[in-house]
A and B are shown apart, each in its own frame.
Chain A
Amino acid sequence: MRIKEIYGVHHSYGAYEECHVDIGKILALISIIIVVGPLASAIILYRDNPIALIMPDVEELTENFEGYFPTVEYAGYEIVDPETSFRVLLNMTNNSDDSFTFNTMNFSAYCKEHNTFLGYGYGENLPLTIPPKSSDIFRLLITFTHEGQTDIETFHRGDTDFYAVLRDVTIVVQGIAVEKGDEMDIGPIEIPA
């Protein structure tokens, strides 16, 4: 049976030999077409602007980059404990088409006028995910040190325009940790008499 099969193949070999040449050429042609065809099409389609063929659209990227990060507005404050802590409220608006997540925020607060160390602060309601095209309140809790309490009681009781300065600000947004070496002013804050 096996020999018969072999014989059968032999029997029609002459016809296959002709096919051999044709199939070889056809396969070579296919190889060329499937590789050269798309690349040639690309060159023809972009013949007026070949740079656009290899360069991404940077303008769109730049436009979206500006709108990607939320805008921050001072929205007020709350006295949590007149002796030890207060809360700063920031209105965060996410104008982008993707949600934006604040993971953590830590900072040190100083009296802007006297440079006294007031206390530590941290983002209270974190992680905070702001959905696309919406706003949310970001709460910063500042806990006073004894030194800070003394500064406020001595110099700022009854002030209506007290300003705190945030330093050593570390923010983790979208998993990326950002440390701000410069200062952020917070205020005006009304200190009860």
Chain B
Amino acid sequence: MVNWPGLACAVTAATLVLLSFLYASPWWQAEIGDDMARANISPLDYNANLIGTSIGVPIIWFMNLACKLTFIACAVAFLIYSVATQKSYSKKLLNFAYKKPIIIFISFVVMLVVASYIVGSFIGRSVPLSGTSTLRISVGEVTADIPISTGFTWVFWLSATTTVLALVAKIYDWKIIRPAFPTTTPPVQEPRETKTPEAKKPETKK
């Protein structure tokens, strides 16, 4: 029995990693002016530049690496679990895999909201998570109106889909797959002969 949501989750998680490796696809973007400053952010990649100068923060690269490895592990675990749901180790694989995209996705959203709030407090104007805003800065005799546009990319929604699929896979396993394979309780104490199909029949019908 295949856990189809789990299989789909493995595919979307693998797609996220591939997109990251091939295109460094961001989940969220921010642009100041006409490309005067730009930030492309996701848990898997980080790229920010101001007036053409890249702003690299080494620790973020290592955190991105951890997230990439996590997504790879998640995709592999989901793939194996989804096609081998009846195996006794499948539940372990599922529990290993399903939390990871959820934790990364929620952490990313929380981090964005907190960062937006901090930046907004610093500049005295709210920065939208998605949309446009104009920031007015006055320095001496010079006043500058700086347009800021931010938005989630389609990759963000793909990651949201991955998160939902991970949850659905867990529920699918709990509600559909486990009742269909009532073998989670080891009958090792009983002799093989006594493990009659009749004894299990009522459980399989549940």
Contacts and interface: CB of A to CB of B under 8 A. Distances in A.
A19 B89 contact: yes
A20 B88 CA distance: 7
A13 B36 contact: no
Given A10-B195, A13-B183, A178-B143, A34 B73 contact: yes
A48 interface: no
Nearest to A7: B197
A6 to B, nearest CB: 6
Contacts of B59: 42, 53-54
A97 B51 CA distance: 10
Interface in A88-124: 96-98, 101, 103
A7 B141 contact: no
B86 A10 contact: no
Contact of A174 (B35, B141, B192): B35
Nearest to A42: B62
A138 to B, nearest CB: 17
A16 B87 contact: yes
Contacts of B2: none
A57 interface: yes
A31 B103 CA distance: 13
A154 interface: no
Given A176-B146, A182-B141, A34 B66 contact: yes
Contacts of B73: 30-31, 34
B69 A3 contact: no
Question: Helix, strand, loop or mixed for chain B's interface?
Answer: mixed
A52 interface: yes
B55 A61 contact: yes
Contacts of B53: 60-61, 64-65
Contacts of A20: 88-89, 92
A27 B88 contact: no
Interface in B122-165: 140-147
Question: Helix, strand, loop or mixed for chain A's interface?
Answer: helix
Given A10-B187, A13-B186, A68-B52, A179 B36 contact: no
B60 to A, nearest CB: 9
A7 B45 CA distance: 48
A24 B146 CA distance: 53
B164 to A, nearest CB: 22
Given A2-B204, A24-B92, A56 B55 contact: yes
Contacts of B110: none
Interface in B172-206: 181-183, 186-188, 192, 195, 197, 200-201, 204
Contacts of B145: 176-179
A39 B63 contact: yes
Given A17-B186, A55-B57, A177-B144, A9 B181 contact: yes
Interface of A: 2-7, 9-11, 13-14, 16-17, 19-20, 23-24, 27, 30-31, 34-35, 37-39, 41-42, 46, 52-57, 60-61, 64-65, 68, 96-98, 101, 103, 174-182
Given A23-B92, A181-B141, 13 more contacts: A7-B197, A9-B86, A11-B195, A17-B188, A19-B88, A20-B89, A30-B73, A38-B63, A39-B63, A42-B59, A61-B55, A64-B53, A65-B51
